[in-house]
Structure 1
Amino acid sequence: MRASTKAMNCDAPLARRGFVAFVRIVRIVLCILWVGEPLAAHALPTFDDVRTQWRSSDWLLLSRDGVPLQRTRIDRTERRGDWVALADVSPALREAIVVSEDKRFYEHSGVDWRGAAAAAWANLWNTRTRGASTVTMQLTGLLNDDRERSGQRSIAQKANQAVSALWLEHAWRKDQILEAYLNLVPFRGETIGLSALSITLFGKAPSGLDEREAAIAAALIRAPNASYAKVGERACRILRDMQAPERCARLAAFVQLAFARPAPVLLSVSPDAPILAPHLARRIASETHPVAGARVTSTLDAKLQRFASDTLTRTLVELNAPAHPRNVHDGAIVVLDNATGEVLAWVGSSGALSDARDVDAVLARRQAGSTLKPFLYAQAIDERRLTTASLLDDAPLDLPAGGGLYIPQNYDKDFKGWVSVRTALGSSLNVPAVRTLVMLTPHRFAKTLTALGLPLDQSGDYYGYSLALGSADVTLLSLTNAYRALANGGVAAPTVDVVRRPLSPAAQQRVFSSDASYIIATVLSDNNARTRTFGFDSPLATRFFSAVKTGTSKDMRDNWTVGYTSRYTVGVWVGNADGQPMWDVSGVTGAAPIWAAVVGYLHRRVPSVAPRAPAGVVQTRVTFDGNIEPARNEWFVSGTQTPIVGLAANAGPADRAPAVSRVTTPGRAMSSANAAPRIASPTDGTLFALDPDIPAARQRIVFERASGSSSRSRWRLDGKPLGGDERVLWLPWPGRHVLELVDADGMSADSVHFDVRGATARETALPGGTKSDTPHHGVTPSNAR
């Protein structure tokens, strides 16, 4: 620009006539300073530099396709949001800023000559008046020292600011000046810029501010630390200047409410969006230590993350319906990509439904329940100890343990007799799993689980035979990734939660053969195999290929469903973060519906097909002697196939006794082949120890007549009749009892004495404030499912 042009701009005529000579003197002095100090322009950055160098006080977690998911604050000295484009600022706020700070913003060239002259003239006469700093002049102060705050300045500083403003107006457009000003101007306390103010004070984006909110924001620029009453007064004056005086009604109360809003440390991406990934954000922050303003791209799928979170919330609300509350308030979901190990969804808690929403249930350790059984049978198949057609005895089993006897029970408190491995795994039977672990040993099985990445802190001998039923504590992430190993043919590999170069192949480890992994997949995807426990119609039966397993830990404290399709592995946990037991919630009623909804969403447009059989397996038609199970086609590791499966000559009929633990003391032997009524079970002097983890109403003791006893005999317990069935299931009650068989004349033909121990009555509060006397039992077999 030529000097003549500058002089012409400086000598532009004034609209007002009063103190004309004084105004001209001020303008001439400023023009001389402007022409005489050309280096001042070099101290001011370009608009693009200012916008590029802006740093939020937070770091931002992005989804795999760049969608913002989560904002986490790092800089505690100042709160700054993202840079806001002027087009994303509400028109009301732009008007309020101009009205309150610079009414002739769009008319002057950086300095409001009339305002400056009026202020200088008033200062000469000690008259109180508003300041003369324009928006452009204030911006130059922010650019020269981004920590400079409003306050008194000397005449020289004012003059230098005015000169810089003239240079800035020459280099920047008006919209750029106003945009930068709104992003750099300090507001109340630590808040810098409109984005941070709008979210923390009003809970909305800058584009959504109405006239009243805009006036309050503008009022805070002049007096950022004033009381809410003073801010309200100034905001009302601004509203009158905006021709909106009706918005002054109840303004002071509105300001007070806005100031009372707590400023969150963890923010959603926008005020209207939910907080989608707080737990993964914390994990990434602890591992990568991002700096303020960083944008970290995760592997999460934003739409899937939102769907999973909503599904978890909706299911827990349904489980706690007032009519039938289930006392389950927490949950977690993990979705993994089978091929890459990328984490596609990470829902760490149920949010507002939880009393411990900051606890990341994806990483919390919980008892695994029956979810470890597929790995147990995979190892047995790999070692050629079992095939899926092998028969296991699902009958009462007492194993010596360090503290006495370990007596495993099935979830439904009944025994099935001789069953195949396919049925045992599909229906999640406990005793066959324990018998399998006896063959493998807990020590060697624990090594397998550790190779899969499960965080076992102790050796297998520490857990003992209960390891077959999931007594070890695992995390949802590690358990889900272990199932991913089965989906990948037995190869375990780490997960990935931040977009980066692929992991080295050395990080992979083969744990199972592809043959054993495939055979396990055929069981976990076989709806017929699980019917004995789950029935035909359950959430586990999907319309596409999926291999899935449930698990429930002791006392219904942890509830799992983990499974995989051809492309994804999904793990779900529900329970309570504080460890409280749920009320009648199992894997198929708690976690399974969530799992089914998520895999259904994943495959709503993408098919899931069963894996191809590897070269090392063969399919053979199998027939079971005695019709123990129906004939079927079965998969075998090549060389282990057999067309006929039967019991050994010395294998007796499986004991189908109920789930109550039985320790028999010496007494009378059972009579058989005798026409007189005789009691076969229990024997005299039997001690029954009740299970503390099984609901009292689900436990039974079986009373049976000896073979050949008269069918006309009747049962009598403690002097009260029980009926005449050959086999009676009795709900146990603590104490000493006398069981009798009476003949047709009502005379006692046989009797036994037995004790039910390990139970004390306690008062249990029921929903609605009522109480019930419920037996509290005292033996500890697992009821994993």
Structure 2
Amino acid sequence: MAWLPLVRQALQRPGLAVLLLALPWAAQALPSYREVRAEYRPSHTLILAADGQEVHSLRTNAQVRQGQWVALSEVSAALRLALLASEDQRFYQHSGVDWQAVSAAAWGNLWHQKTRGASTITMQLAGLLDEDWRNAAGRRSLGQKLGQAVAATRLERSWRKDDILEAYLNLVPFRGELVGLDALSRTLFGKAPHGLDGHEAAIASALIRGPNATAPVVGQRACGVLQSLAALQQRPAPDCAAVRWRTEQVLSARLWPASSGIAPHWARRVLAQWPPGQTLPSRITTTLHADVQRVALQSLQRHLRELQGHNVEDGAVLVLDNASGQVLAWVGSSGSLSQAHEVDGVLAQRQPGSTLKPFLYAQAVQQRRLTAASLIEDSAAHINTGAGLYIPQNYDRRFKGWVSARVALASSLNVPAVRTLAMVGVEDFYQQLAQLGLGLPQPAGYYGYSLALGSSELDLLRLTNAYRALANGGRWQPIAPLVAPLHPAPSAPPAQRQAIGPQAAFIVGDILSDSLARAPTFGLDSVLTTRFWSAVKTGTSKDMRDNWAIGWSQHYTVGVWVGNASGAAMHEVSGSSGAAPVWAEVLGYLHRAQPSLAPPPPAGVVQHSVQFAAGQGLDANRQEWFLSGTEQTRFVRDDKAPRTAPAGDEKNFAPRIDSPASGTILALDPDIPPAQQRLWLRASSPAVRWRLNGHILGTGAQLAWLPMPGQHVLEIVDAQGRRLDAVTVQVRGAGLSGKPRGKP
């Protein structure tokens, strides 16, 4: 606006001729209705789903509070009548300047009478469009009044009357930071502009005349507006007391929060990733599906309410489309149920527990170290580490003996997983996780063998996308952009890599979809069993702090985390009772009318019948999948005999403790129900009594002990109480309540 300095100079000159020559020139520079409409920016950005539904509104302008542009047809008739009665009764008759009102105002000034101002709605709009014609700190100068008059005349020639009224209602300041009718309606009245009634319309009109007036003054002016309308329509006078009460009530209201909707964390993520340098639009269409987002949020909140009393209040849900990588649902918290609802659980770093096992077994299969039918010993393991003995335990504190890799993975047995990691190597598995987008902040040696049981920290976003790689035949890709670019240009396809061989990914998926292989730990009626094909893995971290259920179908990958943002331990909540019901409900909704078929076997895998030695374990004869060249028919367990003295020669062997070894460090696994948290104590002779820290536990060659955190001395003694052998055991982890917990 290069003409502004010239106009300001003209306004400072005493010559009226120069002023009148400058004013038309300035008025010609006023924008058109289309320009005003195009440049309008609400203070809130609307985040839309892929189908255009609004999922969230987030305030992005801290200076003013403006809503969406409101078309005149969406303004209540009561407000239009009240506004014209208050501000410009001859709006539709004059051509920008109401000369009748000007004459009345001049006559009143002459005789020192108080009259209504002569500024029309069109003149006020001119002031809103150009600061030169706007009110200064005091009264407008003669130049400003003349400028408004000329600008209003120009506006009337180029704008339609309805456009003038519409723009005025969207740009006029009402009170404090509230600008425009939409902001006023939603903040003070909690409704859209089309729903304003007569009293609310009068209050809105009164606020235009005095935006910062006190509530009694606004109430009195609102009553005056209603009285004017009543006189024009020949109706009874209004009840001013009711209007004043309503005014007091609404002026203290703040009904339009800075953030509202069903996807607050998603909205912040979208804005955080908005391309630098691009203007933020008032509406952003994203990949989210509003119905999936709503179901995921409702399912999470409902299930957490059912877990009241178990000290769990937070959760997160992520839904990805397998083919495109688009985010269909992003629930970052449980909302009002949480004490930390601002924390985004999708991005929070938490311990993944057993959810890393599928990647470990896939790597072992791919390296041909294992097949799905290979037998792994599930027994007490004492692994020497730099920090002492590492002794992994299973969920139920019981060892299953020799089990196939299929059962070990599906039933989430911990000891076989650690033995598998010993075969693969910690460093190699560490690198495998990095290929799946699960890079860890510490070197491999920092985690050691506990990496098989999820001792690292990961977020739900990366972990769910890694499971999506399993769904896609081992091909890893980053998730798709959250928002389609404003100006799409040809670009290379998204980066991808074959993180896991398609054969290994297929076999692991087949294992995780096998409800029979899952039964030893989860039972046959598990919530993890869906009516369509799906593969899933649960996990629980140390001290019952994190609960996970992540799995996929033919079309979608769903990840759920349940826990506490504070890191507090849950009470009697595990993967199948915490996160799994939400996972099953969300995936069930996604496939309510869409089938999910098992993936076809890729080239390089064969199915072969296998046999296991009868009566020696959990595995039954079956058809099994193998990498070509690794198939075999018969699998025999190599059970070891207990360490006892040969029959008839007991007197030459002093009774001793066979298990646990002295110096054992036992880490309690939070996946294990307290009623089943038993460590089997074994001695070489049945004629002994067990003593713990000086107190008798029981008698016999084997005894199940419920471990408690602390440093313990285990002894075996004879009938006279003389010590025969002793070991020290350290137990780490949370204390046990003695109440049964749910399954993992």
Please give the TM-score of this superposition, normalised by the length of structure 2: 0.85
The question of 1:284 aligning with 2:258 is answered no
Amino acid at match of 1:634: E
Find out whether 1:519 has 2:507 as its counterpart. yes
1:230 — aligned with what?
217
AA of the residue aligned to 2:581: P
Deviates more, 1:67-76 or 1:732-741: 732-741
Q: How does 1:430-449 map to 2 (within 5 A)?
A: 430-449=414-433
2:318 aligned with 1:318 = no
When normalised by structure 1's length, the TM-score is: 0.81
1:279-678 alignment, distance < 5 Å: 279-289=266-276, 291-320=279-308, 325-496=309-480, 497-500=482-485, 504-505=492-493, 507-627=495-615, 628=617, 629-647=619-637, 652=640, 670-671=644-645, 673=647
Mapped partners of 1:309, 1:758: distance in 2? 42
2:68 aligned residue: 82
3-state SS of paired residue (1:410) = coil
Structure 2 residue matching 1:128: 3-state secondary structure: coil
Q: 1:404 to 1:36 in 2, by over 3 A?
A: closer
Shift of residue 45 of structure 1?
3.4
1:57-107 Cα offsets, whole Å, 9 max, x none, are: 333322222223333333333322221111222233223212221233344
Contact 1:333 1:570 in 2 (8 A): yes
Decide which of 169, 177, 185 is 2:156's aligned counterpart: 169
3-state DSSP class of the match of 1:291? Answer: coil
Deviation at 1:312, TM superposition (A): 1.3
**CA separation in 1, counterparts of 2:397 and 2:66?**
60
Using the alignment, how far apart are the partners of 2:203 and 2:336 within structure 1?
31
Structure 1 counterpart of 2:259: 267
Deviations 1:256-313 (A, max 9, x none): 5544445877333xxxxx3424344345334524534443321111221122112111
Note if contact 2:265-2:344 (Cα within 8 Å) is conserved in structure 1: no
Secondary structure of the equivalent of 1:233? helix
Q: Given that residues 64 and 298 in structure 1 are in contact (C-alpha distance below 8 angstroms), is that contact kept between their aligned partners in structure 2?
A: yes
Is the Cα contact below 8 Å between 2:659 and 2:682 reproduced in 1?
Answer: no
Deviation at 1:252, TM superposition (A): 5.0
Give the CA deviation at 1:134. 2.0
Q: 1:545 to 1:759 in 2, by over 3 A?
A: closer
Cα pair distance change 1:404/1:146, threshold 3 Å: farther
Bigger Cα displacement from structure 2, 99-108 vs 567-576: 99-108
SS in 2 for 1:344: strand
Distance across 1 between alignment mates of 2:733 and 2:401: 33
In structure 2, the partner of 1:702 is 680
Residue 635 of structure 1 aligns to which amino acid in structure 2? Answer: W
Q: Which residue of 2 aligns with 1:220?
A: 207
Secondary structure at the residue paired with 1:139? Answer: helix
Q: Mean alpha-carbon deviation: is it higher for 238-247 or for 408-417? A: 238-247
Q: Return the letter of the residue paired with 2:329.
A: A
Shift of 1:558: 0.9
User: How far has the Cα of 1:759 moved from its partner?
Assistant: 7.1
**Which sits farther off after the overlay, 76-85 or 458-467?**
76-85
| Counterparts of 2:140 and 2:44, CA distance in 1 | 33
User: Quick one: structure 1 residues 492 and 396, their matched pair in 2 at CA, closer, same or farther if it must change by over 3 Å?
Assistant: same
Q: In terms of mean alpha carbon deviation, does 683-692 or 293-302 score higher? A: 683-692
2-side partners of 1:402 and 1:195: how far apart?
66
Q: C-alpha deviations, 1:555-590, integer Å up to 9, x for none?
A: 111111111111111111111111111111111111
Q: Give CA deviations for 1:21-52 in whole Å, capped at 9, x if unaligned.
A: xxxxxxxxxxxx99998767733433233222
Q: Secondary structure at the match of 1:389?
A: coil
Structure 2 residue ranges without an equivalent (≥5): 1-18, 231-235
The one-character-per-residue Cα deviations of 1:368-395 (angstroms, maximum 9, x if unpaired) are: 1111000001011110000000000111
Given that 1:676 and 1:749 are in contact with CA atoms closer than 8 Å, whether structure 2 keeps it comes out as no
Partner of 2:63, secondary structure, is coil
Counterpart Cα distance in 1 of 2:452 and 2:340: 30
Change (3 A) 1:375 1:759: closer
Query: Match for 1:390: what amino acid?
Result: S
Other structure's SS at 2:611 match: strand
Q: Structure 1 740/444 Cα, relative in aligned 2: closer, same or farther at 3 Å?
A: same
Instruction: Tell me the residue number matched to 2:78.
Output: 92
Please report how far the alpha carbon of residue 435 of structure 1 lies from its aligned counterpart in structure 2 after TM superposition.
0.3
In 2: Cα distance, 1:128 partner to 1:684 partner = 99
CA distance in 2, matches of 1:718, 1:574: 38
How many residues align? The count is 705
Deviations 1:596-619 (A, max 9, x none): 111111111111111111121100
Q: Hey, what's the Cα distance between the residues in 2 that align with 1:195 and 1:345?
A: 29
Secondary structure of the structure 2 residue equivalent to 1:296: strand
CA distance in 2, matches of 1:682, 1:92: 90
**Which one-letter code corresponds to 2:220 in the other structure?**
E
Aligned-residue Cα RMSD (Å) equals: 3.7
Pairwise CA distance, 1:245? 6.5
Of 224-233 and 391-400, the range deviating more from structure 2? 224-233
Distance in 2, matches of 1:607 and 1:683, equals 51
Over 3 Å counting, the alpha-carbon distance change for 1:701 and 1:506 in structure 2 is closer
Q: Distance in 2 between matches of 1:182 and 1:383?
A: 70
Q: Deviations over 1:465-486 (max 9, x none)?
A: 0011111111101000000111
- The amino acid that maps onto 2:212 is N
Name 1:8's counterpart in structure 2.
none
- Is the CA contact 1:552–1:784 (under 8 Å) kept in the aligned structure 2? no
Deviation at 1:152, TM superposition (A): 2.2
Q: Secondary structure at the match of 2:407?
A: helix
